[in-house]
């Protein structure tokens, strides 16, 4: 079966959804003033540089008050509600109750998509003609978004960061991701998905130092309908910004070594 064709159709349906008027909290591409980003030598919109989300989504993607070690924040989910199926809402509640033990981040596992983007660490985008690479400081995570004409490989595959294929829609990088494990979460608040997750990310530069990040989440096993997140990403404008490292599991293993 042509997985990519199937997904393209789905993506098309989702694109229609994205264009529908909605009580959207975040900025959308339609709201953003037209900005023409510079181009790479191979003619693509240039998204390169070091970027970071500045919000509290990695703690909780929905509106939340503060608690010990958790800053309060407005959510990044359009309309704030996540359309869980009834059983899934109950599981989310259990995840919340046991989040200290269950959060995959507490074991320094790869964050999955889209959570890695709004982890509170910078990332660097490096473009090539046939793929976009995202190098994250967190856990030295490395994403390759292939634009080489290959469709998603045939599954079943369950990768922590999924399989990502990109296309350009005007100045927007559209990233289609499937083949994920069910073991990643969306945040520390127990919001979750299954291995049937399909993520469409849209990255649109809205200025020299800003980029709009929109995400559509589709998972028929967990949700009753697709839903969206959106948030700005900010360029790290320090004079000489540089990714350092956050070797999460190395620190965890060292800290917990019994005879250290």
Partner 1 sequence: MKSLISAVTAVAALSLLVPSGVAGQGFAQPGRPKGAGARTWRAERATLPPYSPPRLPDGRPNLQGRWGGSSSGDDIEETEQVDPTTPPWESWVSDPADGRIPYQRWAMAERKKHRAGLARGVTGETGERLFMDPQTFCMKSVPRYAQRGYELVQAPGYVVMMLNWGHFHRRIPLDDRPRPGASAQFWMGIARGRWDGDTLVVESTNFNGKMWLDSVGNFASEHVRVIERLRLVEANTLDYEVTIDDPTVFTQAWTLSYRLRRAGTGGGGGAATVNDPYAAESWEHACHEGNAHHVEGARDLGFKWFPGVTPPQR
Site residues, partner 1 (CB under 8 A): 41, 48, 107-110, 124, 126-128, 133, 135, 139-142, 144, 146, 148-150, 153, 155-161, 240, 242-245, 247, 249-250, 253-254, 257-260
Helix-, strand-, coil-residue percentages of the chain, each rounded to 5: 20, 30, 50
CB of 207 to partner 1, least distance (A): 19
Q: How many CB atoms lie within 10 A of CB 165?
A: 23
Helix, coil or strand: residue 10? helix
Cβ-based nearer residue to partner 1, 111 or 172:
111
Q: Which residue blocks in 48-198 are alpha helix, DSSP H? A: 86-97, 99-102
223 φ, ψ to 5°? -115, 160
Q: Closest approach of Cβ 244 to partner 1, in Å?
A: 7
Using the minimum distance from each CB to partner 1, give the nearer residue, 83 or 146.
146
The smaller minimum CB distance to partner 1, of residues 67 and 150, is found at: 150
Query: DSSP state, 108?
Result: T
In whole angstroms, how close is the CB of 250 to partner 1 at the nearest point? 6
- Label residues 32-47 b or e (16+ Cβ within 10 Å = b): beeeebeeeeeebbeb
CB of 130 to partner 1, least distance (A): 9
């Amino acid at each position: 079966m042509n997985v990519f064709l199937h997904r393209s159709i789905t993506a098309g349906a989702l694109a229609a959804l994205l264009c529908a008027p909605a009580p959207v909290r975040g900025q959308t591409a339609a709201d953003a003033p037209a900005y023409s980003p510079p181009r790479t030598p191979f003619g693509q919109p240039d998204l390169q540089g070091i970027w970071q989300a500045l919000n509290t989504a990695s703690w909780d993607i929905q509106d939340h008050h503060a608690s010990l070690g958790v800053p309060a924040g407005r959510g990044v989910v359009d309309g704030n509600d996540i359309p869980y199926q009834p059983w899934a809402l109950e599981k989310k509640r259990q995840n919340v109750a046991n989040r200290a033990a269950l959060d995959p981040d507490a074991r320094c596992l790869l964050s999955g998509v889209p959570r890695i983007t709004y982890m509170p660490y910078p990332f660097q985008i490096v473009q090539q003609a046939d793929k976009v690479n995202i190098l994250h400081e967190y856990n030295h995570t490395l994403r390759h978004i292939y634009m080489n004409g290959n469709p998603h490989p045939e599954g079943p595959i369950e990768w922590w960061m999924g399989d990502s294929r990109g296309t350009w829609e005007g100045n927007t990088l559209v990233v289609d991701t499937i083949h994920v494990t069910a073991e990643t979460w969306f945040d520390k608040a127990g919001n979750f998905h299954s291995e049937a997750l399909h993520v469409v990310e849209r990255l649109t530069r809205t200025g020299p130092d800003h980029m709009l990040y929109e995400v559509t989440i589709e998972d028929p096993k967990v949700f009753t309908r697709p839903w969206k997140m959106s948030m700005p990403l900010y360029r790290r404008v320090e004079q000489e910004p540089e990714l350092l490292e956050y070797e999460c599991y190395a620190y965890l293993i060292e800290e917990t070594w019994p005879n250290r």
